[in-house]
Amino acid sequence: AQSVTQLDSQVPVFEEAPVELRCNYSSSVSVYLFWYVQYPNQGLQLLLKYLSGSTLVKGINGFEAEFNKSQTSFHLRKPSVHISDTAEYFCALTINTGNQFYFGTGTSLTVIP
Amino acid sequence: GAVVSQHPSWVICKSGTSVKIECRSLDFQATTMFWYRQFPKQSLMLMATSNEGSKATYEQGVEKDKFLINHASLTLSTLTVTSAHPEDSSFYICSAPTGLSNQPQHFGDGTRLSIL
């Protein structure tokens, strides 16, 4: 079985400060990993993904994440956040890109002016 | 690029009403689509897998007769919430595999269902 854990349900951070949103996963087979952002009353927007290759992946809006197989982690980072980054962030995995996604419980990022 | 269109985006209706939500793949064919449900401040949970030309596969605990899924064509899947009650109020999102390496799945923008 597969699962995704996002330990931090809420992360407040001051504007222009760095942020890291943590994601750990569990799977007995190889996985593909994703980060999505969801603004209030909207759908999911893909931030970045790890399918293969370089373990450091860069996404939109200045976000990046590093796949660490030994620690089964895929933490999301941004060196300097903006007010507009305030949103809900979901880590997700799938074992096959045509299969269902398994989502973490989400992390609410609040950027404080 | 591949896009999934979900309609309607917001529905408010009375208890006992049946509500149909459409999920369309634009510019690509989707033999499979996934339906998720998201409760407020919670994550997305898979409800069912919609299969073109055959019966949907439901996750444990999801009532088949309550949430009717029809995948009649390669570009359209529908979710009908039958005799909806306030506890069915939620955010419903569909997704479809695109077959594209840069975005393997695309999610619809979701439907917020509010039952009064």
Average pLDDT over residues B1-28: 92
Q: Do B104 and A103 touch (CB under 8 A)?
A: no
- For A43-99, write each residue's pLDDT tens digit: 889 999 999 889 999 999 999 999 999 999 999 999 999 999 999 999 999 998 788
Q: Do A94 and B105 touch (CB under 8 A)?
A: yes
Does residue B100 carry a pLDDT above 90? no
Phi, psi of A27 (to 5 degrees): -165, 145
Q: Is B97 helix (H, G, I), strand (E, B) or coil?
A: strand
Q: Which of B97, A50, B20 is nearest to A63 (CA)?
A: A50
As a three-state string, the secondary structure of chain A is CCEEECCCCEEEEECCCCEEECCEEECCCCCEEEEEEECCCCCEEEEEEECCCCCEEECHHHCEEEEECCCCEEEEEECCCCHHHCEEEEEEEECCCCCCCEECCCEEEEEEC
pLDDT band at A107 (very low <50, low <70, confident <90, very high): very high
Q: Do B109 and A94 touch (CB under 8 A)?
A: no
Q: Is B94 helix (H, G, I), strand (E, B) or coil?
A: strand
- Please report the pLDDT score of residue B43 as a whole number: 86
Does residue A18 carry a pLDDT above 90? yes
Chain B residues within an 8 Å CB radius of A100: 34, 46, 49
**Most confidently modeled range among B2-11, B60-69, B100-109:** B60-69
